[in-house]
Amino acid sequence: MSATPNAIAPGMAPNLESHPAVDLPAVSRVSRCVDLKSVRLSELTVSGSPRKGSDLVPIWKHTCELTERSPSSLEVTFRFDFAGRSGEEVVATALIKYVLCYELTAAQAFTDADLPHFVFANGTYHAWPFVRQLLFDLTAHLGFPPFTLPVFLFNPKPPAPKTQPAAATPEPPPELAAEKPAD
In angstroms, rounded to a whole number, what is the distance separating the alpha carbons of residues 107 and 105?
A: 7
List per-residue pLDDT tens for the chain, 183 residues long: 433 333 333 444 445 566 778 899 999 999 999 999 999 999 999 999 877 667 889 999 999 999 999 999 999 999 999 999 988 889 999 999 999 999 999 888 899 999 999 999 999 999 999 999 999 999 999 989 899 998 887 777 777 777 655 555 556 555 655 555 555
| Residues contacting 155, CB < 8 A, separation 6+ | 19, 20, 21, 22
Q: Which domains does the chain have, with CATH numbers?
A: 24-144 (3.10.420.10)
Question: Is the Cβ–Cβ distance between 164 and 172 less than 8 Å?
Answer: no
**Each residue of 117-127: pLDDT tens digit?**
999 999 999 99
What pLDDT is recorded for position 56? 87
Distance of CA 5 to the CA centre of its chain: 15
pTM of the predicted model as reported, rounded to 2 decimal places: 0.76
